[in-house]
């Protein structure tokens, strides 16, 4: 049967970085196919805490992963090689993500009762993996998200951008169309899209949680205007309310040494069984 993951989530008022949920398929310890669930707290302005959220999928080419693992001596050599960088690599660099703020709903997720999902209180996050025939044997065709807070189910937000059809979940059509609207390279489709991600899930994955900072781009791609030199009025550039000079890891970690996040009541099962 199609599957879902449900988890309760409680963020500290001062998150230092991403709360990162990842389903990882280990291939010789070097690469991963990943569905990630990210929520981010602003680094400087308390009014913007927990305003940016997205869930996304990324995958790697299995055959290429195995070949690289055999050709290179160890993970350190791989890390230093050019294989990791650019769209010539074997892993999806951008993924296909559903980010409510970036997609036009800026009152969906944030701290306070004026948001549909209030991050100052506990919330259950449910992610559903829906197949083409409603069985475990079907191709993955949709990844759907909803939340439960105070006993009330909160459906995912809808896209609200000129030129983009109305979507409230990750589908192949959504991935292709949103990347076209944003002017992003469609590495997702090039690497097999949802169908291949489904094959990775069928092989078996490991659930990983982490809390981290970004030393390459200060995580501006999640919660600010990015690229920083692009026009914020262009579709997809405005991703969250954080300033473009925020997110420097040293600043974030020094300002929030006691930041925490708590995950609990983690469940996995057939759709409808985890809540």
Q: Give one DSSP letter per residue of 139-174, joined into a string.
A: PEEEEEEEEEETTEEEEPPPP--TT----SSEEHHH
pTM score of the predicted model: 0.80
Domains of the chain and any CATH numbers: 3-270 (2.70.100.10)
Q: Which of 1, 9, 3 is nearest to 154 (CA)?
A: 9
Q: Which of 8-17, 152-161, 190-199 has the highest mean pLDDT?
A: 152-161
CA atoms of 260 and 126, how far apart (whole Å):
21
Q: Can you say whether the dihedral through the CA atoms of 206, 12, 251, 112 is positive or negative? A: positive
Non-local (6+) Cβ contacts of 152 within 8 A are: none
Model pLDDT for residues 107-155, shown as the tens digit of each residue: 999 989 999 999 888 999 999 999 999 988 899 999 999 999 999 999 9
- In percent, the amount of the chain with pLDDT more than 90 equals 40
Residue 95: phi and psi, rounded to 5, are 75, 180
Task: Note the pLDDT of residue 43.
Answer: 39
Q: Which of 56, 59, 40 is nearest to 48 (CA)?
A: 40
Q: Give one DSSP letter per residue of 40-60, joined into a string.
A: E--SS-GGGTT-EEEEEEE-B
């Amino acid at each position: 049967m199609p599957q879902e993951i449900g988890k309760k989530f409680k963020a500290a008022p001062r998150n230092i970085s991403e709360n990162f949920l990842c389903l990882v398929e280990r291939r010789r310890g070097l690469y991963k196919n990943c569905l990630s669930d990210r929520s981010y707290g602003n680094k400087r302005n308390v009014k913007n805490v927990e305003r940016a959220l997205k869930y996304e999928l990324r995958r790697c080419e299995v055959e290429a992963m195995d070949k690289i693992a055999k050709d290179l001596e160890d993970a350190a050599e791989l890390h230093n090689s050019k294989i990791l960088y650019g769209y010539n690599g074997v892993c999806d660099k951008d993924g296909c993500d559903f980010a409510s703020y970036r997609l036009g709903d800026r009152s969906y997720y944030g701290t306070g009762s004026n948001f549909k999902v209030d991050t100052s209180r506990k919330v259950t996050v449910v992610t559903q993996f829906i197949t083409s025939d409603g069985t475990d044997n079907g191709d993955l065709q949709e990844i759907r998200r909803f939340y439960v807070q105070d006993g009330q189910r909160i459906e995912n937000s809808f896209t609200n951008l000129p030129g983009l059809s109305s979507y409230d979940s990750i589908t192949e059509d959504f991935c292709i169309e949103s990347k076209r609207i944003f002017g992003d390279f469609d590495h997702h489709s090039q690497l097999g899209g949802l169908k291949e991600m489904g094959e990775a899930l069928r092989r078996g994955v490991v659930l990983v949680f982490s809390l981290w900072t970004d030393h390459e781009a200060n995580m501006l791609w999640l919660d600010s205007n990015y690229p920083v030199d692009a026009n914020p009025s262009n579709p997809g550039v405005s991703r969250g309310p954080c300033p473009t000079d925020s997110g420097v890891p040293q600043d974030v970690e020094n300002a929030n040494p006691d930041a925490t996040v708590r995950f609990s009541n983690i469940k996995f099962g057939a759709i409808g069984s985890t809540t």
